[in-house]
Structure 1
Amino acid sequence: MATISAEALDSIFKAYDVRGTVPDQLDADVVERVGAAFARFARDEAEAGRHGPADRVLVAHDMRPSGPAFAEAFARGVISQGLDVIHMGLASTDLLFWAAGHFDAPGAMLTASHNPAQYNGIKLCLAGARPVGIETGLARIKQDTLTGLPERDRKGSITSVDALPAFAEHVHSFVDVAGLKPLKIVADAANGMGGLIAPAVFSGLPFELEVLYGELDGTFPNHPADPIQPENLRDLQARVVETGADVGLAFDGDADRVFLVDDQGQPLSGSLTTAIVAAAILEKHPGSTILYNLICSKAVPEIIRERGGKPVRTRVGHSFIKQVMAETGAAFGGEHSGHYYFRDNYRADSGIIAALVVLEVLSHAGEPLSSLRVPYERYADSGEINTRVRDAAAVIDRVAEHFAGAAQDRLDGLTVDLGDWWFNLRPSNTEPLLRLNLEARDRPSCDRHVEEVRALIAAADDATKGA
């Protein structure tokens, strides 16, 4: 194998996964090395008793052009370390993570999620869908990828499995299928894995499903597979209104996230969907602990308490959510970014499960989603606003000083609560950006305070020039 530099790996190993452009940052050789390093790590963790058996590894890929070759390369790395491979072929990330729980085996998903077409990557988990991040194994995998590992005398084998039918049954288990009502659904798959998963899961249910851009095409010929960006919802919004659909579903590239659009073509925020799903979970599991990340609306913990649940605030990111779920036994966790985690899904997130839970709520509501949503929406929010800065930590410190008299915490970035309004300022993990999320009582107040905080950020950034 060709040599690889530490600098090259620094560019692709992120906090939660491996991700880079193909082929200059990520190619089959690197992927094979990562496969070998992951196999060794998973086996050592199993032998140390820290998770279930690791005699086999699940491997799946999304619809990106490099996916099949990368999955084969990863499998070669795994079998070089004496472990077997169960090849799942095309899959969504939530299908792969469910399978890691169902089969009690480590897994690797070849995907770059919502990133543009030139990217690919690898999401990893241990048996039971336990997350693997930079602090929970990814740093070691990175080091072993750099140094390379010798092949073992015994090579593993590769077999194939189609797990989608069993996954569809699992998704159905979260609702009372007999109580579902005929609903018209438009799902925008953005040429991603939702085009495979949504029809399979909704098959046999009393829904009329229309799929927009359902052809699997990792070049994303219609629009980016990133539904958190409002411009990527426009085709779905228009189609929902045009056809009189009850709801629209927008999936990201690997289909583990979903954003909803109501019958009037208006999007639901991740916070709003978190609140609706949390209320539904609490009906079935009264008194449960429910997690929400600190970017979510204040309405989320309010609604959880009103419905008899116990809200717990967490940092942003799946590894933190899953850890707190394990510690608290939480039944559900939601993030503003469209990730929804379920205890009965091995604490992994799933967009299609969240979507089906909302469809069950809608089946029993006797009113359209545009009306059902109203009691859950109590504040105005800014959405995520990104600003490029020279020194994110220094800017955050200066903004914190300005609000020294207000309630603050540093759980994840800086959160400042001024009663009628609050904001969070977080640095990006991958870019010199600050991410601002702000919420206030009403739209004029929200807009005014956004300008206030943005002006402070700009002034603080200017002050770092001479620092």
Structure 2
Amino acid sequence: MTATPDALPDLSGLVKAYDVRGIVPDQLDEHVAQALGAAFADVVVLPGAPDGPLSARPRVAIGNDMRESGPGLVAAFADGVTRRGVDVVTIGLCSTDGLYHASGTMDVAGAMFTASHNPAKYNGIKLCRPGARPVGEATGLAEVREVASRYLRDGVPSVEDESRGEVTTREMVGEYATFLRELVDLGSIRPLKVVVDAGNGMAGLTAPAVLGAEAGLPELPLDVVPLYFELDGSFPNHEANPLDPANLVDLQAAVVAHGADLGLAFDGDADRCFVVDELGRAVSPSAITALVGLREVAREKQEGRTATVIHNLITSRAVPDLLTAAGAITVRTRVGHSFIKSEMAENHAVFGGEHSAHYYFREFFFADSGMLAALHVLAALGTATDLQGEAVPMSALAEVYQPYSASGEINSTVADVPAARARVVEAYVTTQGAGPVVVDELDGLTVSHWDDQPRWWFNLRASNTEPLLRLNVEAADEDIMVKVRDDVLALVRAAEGEE
């Protein structure tokens, strides 16, 4: 499997800031996967392995989602890993948080083959160090790209046969389900009917194991209505991207039709969870961040500890408001799982949340788990009562945690990103046409008028890979949010031909 010089793939568009993601086979094929596996072993796994004659060979756990290209790419990646003298444990079909569970409980490095919410033609790899610690551009991924490029040019070297790694298999879905169940007790909640939309992704495997009794666990007081549980990487019903409101329509209709207490939607690799209330309305991920965060803060206080919670700068201002009022320390970070996970570990934070519905837990190796977040939501709803002791519906519970009006993330394709950004800076920062503002550039451009009336803020961020600007706006009331949203969008899209 040695490439000729004129056929060398360009990995610059494939190996991104947080993970590997590209079109199969144009950008990611088995040859590339083999080189990436060998480079991952050399850069990440072997330098951290115990040394000495009695040390066992280090191991890498590898899992994959339901995409058709997954098994072939896993086999090629495993071949690259074993050529460098590292053992492989393949855990087969799993969610991304299932792979993190394997990495955390076995204390081994991991590789998850998934393209998350991307269309069927894509695949990718999420990499981690032992204990599910992230591998991003600044923590090894850039070097993995460089070494893999060299291996594509020169071929992947192999250790002597007797030192070559071995491949074994291990079924871990049951262990994963048991682990999560032990973190959140649902045994005493009121009976709930919940519609789960797996989007033909990996929640079709994990939801029955965790919420049902398929893994041999006790039955829960849940009536689960399955929606698109069949594993199918072609996504025949809708894209497995619940962040797009169009992909929640079926779940919203099913919740109302079945008279369910709530709905849960997962993305393709089931590491993100979105919530729909009993009226079929989407609940903001910021509201879920506040809800779950307050549960974790209360648990920390019971243990006599001051809780730290991480949130990215796109989450609602309600998140730090509510959490600090409850006695927590909040830390604001950039968008992106590698940043969140690093801050989680550095601050020993009990919980972290993002506007994209990634939720991170100290008890889950500082990693994100959509299913664990779902368990917390079910536990909160299943025990929530009003002053008269009556059960509180999901709509009323969520209302407490979303007091402000938000636009959600709006993407604009622009021909000249710097020029579009400059128009916004001129209007809001240089001339301050909307009044005095506070500006920061932690991640993109954040302009805030929150300390004065009327209260509003917005963030404008450029995509790392596309000519896009992403806008998020929040205000204390709907009219102000709409005004700021429309004004900023007009500035961003001012040039002819932009959408």
TM bucket (normalised to shorter chain) is over 0.9
* Alignment partner, residue 152 of structure 1: 159
5+ residue gaps, structure 2, are 213-218, 385-390, 430-435
8 Å contact from structure 2 (residues 412, 469) kept in 1: yes
Once the two structures are superposed, residues 419-455 of structure 1 have per-residue CA deviations (whole angstroms, 9 ceiling, x without a partner) of 2100000001110111000011222211111111112
Q: Is the contact between residue 192 and residue 217 of structure 1 (CA under 8 Å) also seen in structure 2?
A: yes
The letter of the residue matching 1:187 is: V
Which residue of structure 1 aligns with residue 189 of structure 2?
180
Q: 2:92: which partner in 1? A: 89
Inter-partner Cα distance in structure 2 for 1:185 and 1:458:
41
Question: 5 Å matches for 1:33-72?
Answer: 33-47=35-49, 55-72=58-75
Q: What's the secondary structure of 1:453's corresponding residue?
A: helix
Deviation at 1:179, TM superposition (A): 2.2
Q: 2 CA distance for matches of 1:279 and 1:114?
A: 28
Counterpart residue identity of residue 192, structure 1: G
The equivalent position to 1:342 in structure 2, one of 355, 361, 367, is 361
Partner of 1:436: 471
Percent identity over the alignment is 51
RMSD: 1.8
Larger Rg belongs to? 2
How many Å separate the matches in 2 of 1:304 and 1:375? Answer: 13
Aligned to 1:215: 230
Q: Distance in 2 between matches of 1:113 and 1:293?
A: 20
Over 3 Å counting, the alpha-carbon distance change for 1:315 and 1:352 in structure 2 is same
- When structure 1 is superposed on structure 2, of 447-456 and 234-243 the one drifting more is 447-456
Aligned to 1:225: 240
Letter in 2 for 1:299: A
Aligned amino acid, residue 16 of structure 1: Y
Q: CA deviation at 1:6?
A: 6.8
Normalised to the residue count of structure 1, the TM-score between the two structures is: 0.95
Counterparts of 2:148 and 2:110, CA distance in 1: 17
In 2, Cα distance between equivalents of 1:87 and 1:348: 20
In the other structure, the counterpart of 1:25 is: 27
Aligned match for 1:313, one of 332, 355, 376: 332
Amino acid at match of 2:141: L
In structure 1, distance between residues paired with 2:56 and 2:177: 25
For residues 13 and 134 of structure 1, the distance between their equivalents in structure 2, rounded to whole angstroms, comes to 9
Deviations 1:75-103 (CA, angstroms, capped at 9, x unpaired): 11111111110010000000101211110
Deviations 1:193-244 (A, max 9, x none): 0000011001222211121010000000110000000010011111110111
Is residue 116 from structure 1 mapped to residue 124 from structure 2 by the alignment?
no
In 1, Cα distance between equivalents of 2:344 and 2:47? 21
Is 1:190 the counterpart of 2:199 in the alignment?
Answer: yes
Which amino acid is 1:13 matched to?
A: V
In 1, distance between residues paired with 2:410 and 2:186? 40
User: What is the letter of the counterpart of residue 274 of structure 1?
Assistant: T
Question: Residue 141 of structure 2 aligns to a residue in which SS?
Answer: helix
Structure 1 stretch displaced more, 302-311 or 354-363: 302-311
Superposed displacement of residue 53, structure 1: 8.7
SS in 2 for 1:173: helix
Q: What is the match of residue 177 of structure 2?
A: 168
Gaps of 5+ in 1: none
State the match for 2:388 in structure 1: none
How many correspondences in the alignment? 460
Which SS does the other structure have where 1:9 is aligned? coil
Contact 1:31 / 1:70 at 8 angstroms: preserved in 2? yes
In 2, Cα distance between the equivalents of 1:334 and 1:54?
36
Normalised TM-score (structure 2): 0.89
CA distances 1:361-382 after superposition (whole Å, capped 9, x unpaired): 0111021101111111111111
